[in-house]
Chain A
Amino acid sequence: QQPVQSPQAVILREGEDAVINCSSSKALYSVHWYRQKHGEAPVFLMILLKGGEQKGHEKISASFNEKKQQSSLYLTASQLSYSGTYFCGGNEKLTFGTGTRLTIIP
Protein backbone atom coordinates (compact mmCIF):
# COMPACT_ATOMS: atom_id res chain seq x y z
CA GLN A 1 0.00 0.00 0.00
CA GLN A 2 1.26 3.43 -0.87
CA PRO A 3 1.58 6.31 1.55
CA VAL A 4 -1.29 8.77 1.53
CA GLN A 5 -0.55 12.44 1.04
CA SER A 6 -2.58 15.49 1.89
CA PRO A 7 -3.64 17.82 0.54
CA GLN A 8 -4.02 16.40 -2.97
CA ALA A 9 -3.62 19.83 -4.48
CA VAL A 10 -2.90 23.31 -3.26
CA ILE A 11 -2.63 26.72 -4.89
CA LEU A 12 -0.48 29.37 -3.23
CA ARG A 13 0.56 32.89 -3.99
CA GLU A 14 4.26 33.54 -4.21
CA GLY A 15 5.70 34.04 -0.73
CA GLU A 16 3.10 31.98 1.11
CA ASP A 17 3.89 28.87 3.13
CA ALA A 18 2.69 25.31 2.64
CA VAL A 19 2.73 22.04 4.51
CA ILE A 20 2.44 18.68 2.76
CA ASN A 21 1.70 15.61 4.82
CA CYS A 22 2.53 11.96 4.22
CA SER A 23 1.10 9.05 6.18
CA SER A 24 1.92 5.37 5.85
CA SER A 25 0.15 2.28 7.11
CA LYS A 26 3.41 0.33 6.83
CA ALA A 27 6.44 0.78 9.03
CA LEU A 28 8.78 3.47 7.80
CA TYR A 29 12.47 3.56 8.53
CA SER A 30 13.14 6.34 6.07
CA VAL A 31 11.09 8.92 4.22
CA HIS A 32 12.15 10.47 0.94
CA TRP A 33 10.63 13.60 -0.58
CA TYR A 34 10.79 14.38 -4.30
CA ARG A 35 9.40 17.08 -6.54
CA GLN A 36 8.44 16.31 -10.10
CA LYS A 37 7.58 18.77 -12.83
CA HIS A 38 5.40 17.59 -15.67
CA GLY A 39 7.23 15.18 -17.98
CA GLU A 40 10.45 15.45 -16.00
CA ALA A 41 12.25 13.16 -13.59
CA PRO A 42 11.60 13.35 -9.86
CA VAL A 43 14.18 15.54 -8.14
CA PHE A 44 15.42 14.72 -4.65
CA LEU A 45 14.47 17.19 -1.91
CA MET A 46 14.93 15.53 1.46
CA ILE A 47 15.52 12.22 3.16
CA LEU A 48 14.61 11.64 6.78
CA LEU A 49 15.91 8.68 8.72
CA LYS A 50 14.97 7.02 11.95
CA GLY A 51 16.76 8.68 14.81
CA GLY A 52 16.37 12.15 13.42
CA GLU A 53 19.06 12.32 10.75
CA GLN A 54 18.13 14.41 7.74
CA LYS A 55 19.79 15.09 4.42
CA GLY A 56 18.42 17.67 2.06
CA HIS A 57 18.28 21.17 0.73
CA GLU A 58 18.81 24.09 3.04
CA LYS A 59 15.63 25.92 2.11
CA ILE A 60 13.35 22.97 2.73
CA SER A 61 12.52 21.46 6.07
CA ALA A 62 10.63 18.36 7.05
CA SER A 63 9.69 16.29 10.03
CA PHE A 64 9.36 12.55 10.57
CA ASN A 65 7.24 11.07 13.34
CA GLU A 66 8.47 7.48 13.50
CA LYS A 67 5.79 6.30 15.91
CA LYS A 68 2.93 7.66 13.85
CA GLN A 69 4.65 6.81 10.54
CA GLN A 70 4.01 10.30 9.31
CA SER A 71 6.13 12.94 7.68
CA SER A 72 5.51 16.56 6.79
CA LEU A 73 7.29 18.78 4.30
CA TYR A 74 7.42 22.51 5.04
CA LEU A 75 7.78 24.98 2.20
CA THR A 76 8.28 28.55 3.36
CA ALA A 77 8.20 31.74 1.33
CA SER A 78 7.26 29.75 -1.76
CA GLN A 79 8.71 30.68 -5.12
CA LEU A 80 7.31 30.12 -8.59
CA SER A 81 9.91 27.38 -9.11
CA TYR A 82 8.33 25.36 -6.29
CA SER A 83 5.41 24.43 -8.52
CA GLY A 84 5.16 20.73 -9.30
CA THR A 85 3.93 17.47 -7.84
CA TYR A 86 5.45 16.47 -4.53
CA PHE A 87 5.84 12.82 -3.67
CA CYS A 88 6.83 11.20 -0.45
CA GLY A 89 8.38 7.77 -0.69
CA GLY A 90 8.78 5.19 2.00
CA ASN A 91 11.88 3.10 2.60
CA GLU A 92 14.30 1.88 -0.01
CA LYS A 93 12.16 0.88 -2.93
CA LEU A 94 10.31 4.17 -2.75
CA THR A 95 6.68 3.25 -2.67
CA PHE A 96 5.61 6.69 -3.76
CA GLY A 97 2.72 8.46 -2.11
CA THR A 98 -0.40 9.64 -3.85
CA GLY A 99 1.20 12.99 -4.71
CA THR A 100 0.41 16.62 -3.94
CA ARG A 101 0.12 19.04 -6.84
CA LEU A 102 1.42 22.44 -5.81
CA THR A 103 0.77 25.49 -7.96
CA ILE A 104 2.41 28.81 -7.14
CA ILE A 105 0.89 31.90 -8.72
CA PRO A 106 2.48 35.36 -8.88
Chain B
Amino acid sequence: AAGVIQSPRHLIKEKRETATLKCYPIPRHDTVYWYQQGPGQDPQFLISFYEKMQSDKGSIPDRFSAQQFSDYHSELNMSSLELGDSALYFCASSLGRSENIQYFGAGTRLSVL
Protein backbone atom coordinates (compact mmCIF):
# COMPACT_ATOMS: atom_id res chain seq x y z
CA ALA B 1 0.00 0.00 0.00
CA ALA B 2 1.15 3.51 -0.77
CA GLY B 3 2.49 5.50 2.14
CA VAL B 4 3.25 9.12 2.88
CA ILE B 5 6.32 10.22 0.95
CA GLN B 6 8.60 12.94 2.23
CA SER B 7 11.50 14.50 0.43
CA PRO B 8 14.29 14.99 0.88
CA ARG B 9 15.10 12.44 3.59
CA HIS B 10 18.12 14.40 4.74
CA LEU B 11 18.96 18.06 4.32
CA ILE B 12 21.95 20.05 5.48
CA LYS B 13 21.76 23.82 5.49
CA GLU B 14 23.69 26.70 6.97
CA LYS B 15 22.34 29.36 9.27
CA ARG B 16 20.17 32.00 7.58
CA GLU B 17 19.56 29.78 4.55
CA THR B 18 16.14 28.59 3.41
CA ALA B 19 14.79 25.07 3.10
CA THR B 20 11.74 23.50 1.49
CA LEU B 21 10.38 20.17 2.65
CA LYS B 22 7.86 18.28 0.57
CA CYS B 23 5.15 15.85 1.55
CA TYR B 24 3.07 13.63 -0.70
CA PRO B 25 0.09 12.18 1.19
CA ILE B 26 -1.43 8.78 0.73
CA PRO B 27 -3.67 8.83 -2.39
CA ARG B 28 -7.18 10.13 -1.62
CA HIS B 29 -6.09 11.61 1.71
CA ASP B 30 -7.19 15.23 1.91
CA THR B 31 -5.58 16.30 5.18
CA VAL B 32 -1.91 16.91 5.85
CA TYR B 33 -0.19 17.60 9.16
CA TRP B 34 3.36 18.78 9.87
CA TYR B 35 5.26 17.94 13.05
CA GLN B 36 8.71 18.90 14.32
CA GLN B 37 10.67 16.56 16.59
CA GLY B 38 13.84 17.84 18.19
CA PRO B 39 16.49 15.46 19.57
CA GLY B 40 15.04 13.53 22.51
CA GLN B 41 11.78 15.45 22.29
CA ASP B 42 8.25 14.42 21.49
CA PRO B 43 6.75 15.50 18.16
CA GLN B 44 5.34 19.03 18.19
CA PHE B 45 2.43 19.93 15.92
CA LEU B 46 3.23 22.76 13.52
CA ILE B 47 0.36 23.18 11.07
CA SER B 48 -2.31 21.27 9.18
CA PHE B 49 -4.28 21.61 5.96
CA TYR B 50 -7.64 20.22 4.96
CA GLU B 51 -8.75 20.41 1.36
CA LYS B 52 -5.96 22.85 0.55
CA MET B 53 -6.93 25.30 3.29
CA GLN B 54 -5.05 25.78 6.54
CA SER B 55 -7.12 24.05 9.20
CA ASP B 56 -5.08 24.44 12.37
CA LYS B 57 -1.89 26.05 13.56
CA GLY B 58 0.43 25.02 16.32
CA SER B 59 3.86 26.13 17.39
CA ILE B 60 5.05 27.11 13.94
CA PRO B 61 7.56 29.99 13.88
CA ASP B 62 6.74 33.02 11.74
CA ARG B 63 9.83 32.18 9.66
CA PHE B 64 8.05 29.04 8.48
CA SER B 65 5.18 28.86 6.04
CA ALA B 66 3.36 25.99 4.43
CA GLN B 67 0.73 25.30 1.86
CA GLN B 68 -1.20 22.44 0.33
CA PHE B 69 -1.46 22.30 -3.43
CA SER B 70 -4.24 21.21 -5.78
CA ASP B 71 -2.81 17.68 -5.94
CA TYR B 72 -2.87 17.62 -2.10
CA HIS B 73 0.87 17.53 -1.68
CA SER B 74 2.22 19.99 0.83
CA GLU B 75 5.40 21.99 1.22
CA LEU B 76 6.92 23.44 4.36
CA ASN B 77 9.08 26.47 3.66
CA MET B 78 11.61 27.49 6.27
CA SER B 79 13.55 30.73 6.03
CA SER B 80 16.35 32.36 8.05
CA LEU B 81 17.25 28.96 9.43
CA GLU B 82 18.60 28.80 12.96
CA LEU B 83 20.63 26.11 14.70
CA GLY B 84 17.56 25.26 16.79
CA ASP B 85 15.62 24.33 13.67
CA SER B 86 17.69 21.14 13.41
CA ALA B 87 15.16 18.39 13.89
CA LEU B 88 13.18 15.59 12.30
CA TYR B 89 10.21 16.97 10.41
CA PHE B 90 7.33 14.57 9.95
CA CYS B 91 4.38 14.88 7.68
CA ALA B 92 1.25 12.86 8.28
CA SER B 93 -1.88 12.46 6.21
CA SER B 94 -5.41 11.36 6.91
CA LEU B 95 -8.71 10.95 5.14
CA GLY B 96 -10.81 13.68 6.68
CA ARG B 97 -10.14 15.19 10.05
CA SER B 98 -10.58 14.74 13.79
CA GLU B 99 -11.50 11.11 14.18
CA ASN B 100 -9.30 9.73 11.50
CA ILE B 101 -6.02 7.91 11.70
CA GLN B 102 -2.93 9.88 10.83
CA TYR B 103 -0.27 8.03 8.88
CA PHE B 104 3.23 9.38 9.16
CA GLY B 105 5.94 9.68 6.56
CA ALA B 106 9.52 8.63 7.28
CA GLY B 107 10.49 12.22 8.00
CA THR B 108 13.06 14.71 6.79
CA ARG B 109 16.10 15.16 8.97
CA LEU B 110 17.19 18.78 8.78
CA SER B 111 20.60 19.75 10.08
CA VAL B 112 21.45 23.43 10.33
CA LEU B 113 25.15 24.15 10.66
Contacts and interface: CB of A to CB of B under 8 A. Distances in A.
Interface of A: 2, 29-30, 32, 34, 39-44, 47, 49, 55, 87, 91-99
Contact of A41 (B56, B58, B90): B90
Contacts, number: 53
Nearest to B3: A41
A93 B104 contact: no
A7 B43 CA distance: 18
B23 to A, nearest CB: 12
How big is the B interface, by class? 20 to 34
Query: Could you tell me the dominant secondary structure of chain A's interface residues?
Result: loop
Contact of A44 (B56, B90, B97, B102): B102
Given A93-B33, A93-B48, A30 B102 contact: no
Contacts of A99: 42
B42 A2 contact: yes
B45 interface: yes
6 contacts: A32-B101, A39-B88, A92-B56, A93-B33, A94-B33, A98-B42
Contacts of A2: 42
Nearest to A55: B101
Given A41-B104, A41-B106, A93-B48, 18 more contacts: A2-B42, A29-B98, A39-B88, A41-B90, A41-B105, A44-B101, A44-B102, A44-B103, A47-B101, A55-B101, A87-B42, A93-B33, A93-B45, A94-B33, A94-B102, A95-B45, A96-B42, A97-B42
A55 to B, nearest CB: 7
B63 to A, nearest CB: 20
A87 B98 contact: no
Given A40-B106, A42-B104, A94-B35, A30 B98 contact: yes
